[in-house]
Amino acid sequence: MLSVDNIISIIENDLKEKRRPSAELTVNSFEDGVEIWNHKDVIDFYQGRAMKWQPRYDTAVFLPSSASKPYPYSPSHKKGYLRALLPILKQIDLFVVSEPMVIVPYCYSDEYPVHSYDYNRYKFYIGKLSNPLARESRDIFVDRLSSWISKYHEKYSKKILILPTSWHQKIFKSALRKTTFSINDYHVIRIPGRPNTEFSSKGIRKQLMELSEEG
């Protein structure tokens, strides 16, 4: 289990690690993209970890997944999202919105199966939803995420989305529409430019500071 101090050390010391994905958890076709949602280890994580999460703080922050794993070592997280969140990491519950894990409490990001899957959204989702298998995968994602939101939405007084509009933010909004809650209950942070840059990190942090000043 990854602690906040572990995450801070990864950021400040520019630590590097990259794991090779498991063959069983690698999506190479649209058929794989449907089947992986019912892989035993994926189901076990969703039911046994994600849906049994015990909130620690009043604020929840949601990030997108990353191409390389584990998340905190990926450039987008280490140089972008996590660096932006550095001042408040010890005050929030941090989550990753992920296909096929659905929701990953960040402390599990260095554990199997979270650090071992490979599901390329650009190959199998974005711009590909005319394919019925891609739509089926999307629908599973939305259904499971909506179940998680229904259970945990009211457990957090402040909820912050730092999700790209091209995919994960769309999924989150679709999941919300299947609940009684609204996107207006969330603070949506704009991601300026590529997330693995200092420019993006500073832009995200500025918005978070403004949000904090608003109370």
The tens digit of pLDDT for each residue in 38-53 reads 999 999 999 999 999 9
Whether the pLDDT of residue 61 is over 90: the answer is: yes
90-143: pLDDT as tens digits: 999 999 999 999 999 999 999 999 999 999 999 999 999 999 999 999 999 999
Written as one letter, the residue type at 75 is: P
Indicate the pairing of strand 93-98 with strand 59-64.
parallel
Q: What percent of the chain has pLDDT over 70?
A: 100
Residue 58's pLDDT is what?
Answer: 97
pTM of the model: 0.96
**Residue linked to tokens 């894990």:** 101
- What is the residue-averaged pLDDT of the chain? 96
Closest to 62 in 3D by CA, of 167, 186, 174 = 186
In order of their start, the domains of the chain are 4-15+25-214 (3.40.50.10630)
DSSP string, the chain: ---HHHHHHHHHTT----PPPPGGGB--SHHHHHHGGG-HHHHHHHHHTGGG----SSEEEEEE--SSSSGGGSHIIIIIIHHHHGGGGGGSEEEEEETTTEEEEGGGTTSTTGGG-B--HHHHTTT-TTSHHHHHHHHHHHHHHHHHHHHHGGG-SEEEE---TTTHHHHHHHHHHTSS--GGGSEEPP--S-TTSHHHHHHHHHHHHHHHHH-
pLDDT at 215: 63
Closest-CA residue to 61 (of 104, 27, 95, 14):
95
What's the CA gap between 143 and 118, in Å, rounded? 21
Q: Is the peptide bond before 195 cis (omega within 30 degrees of 0)?
A: no
Q: Indicate whether 30 pLDDT > 70.
A: yes
Cα 19 to chain centroid distance, Å, stands at 18
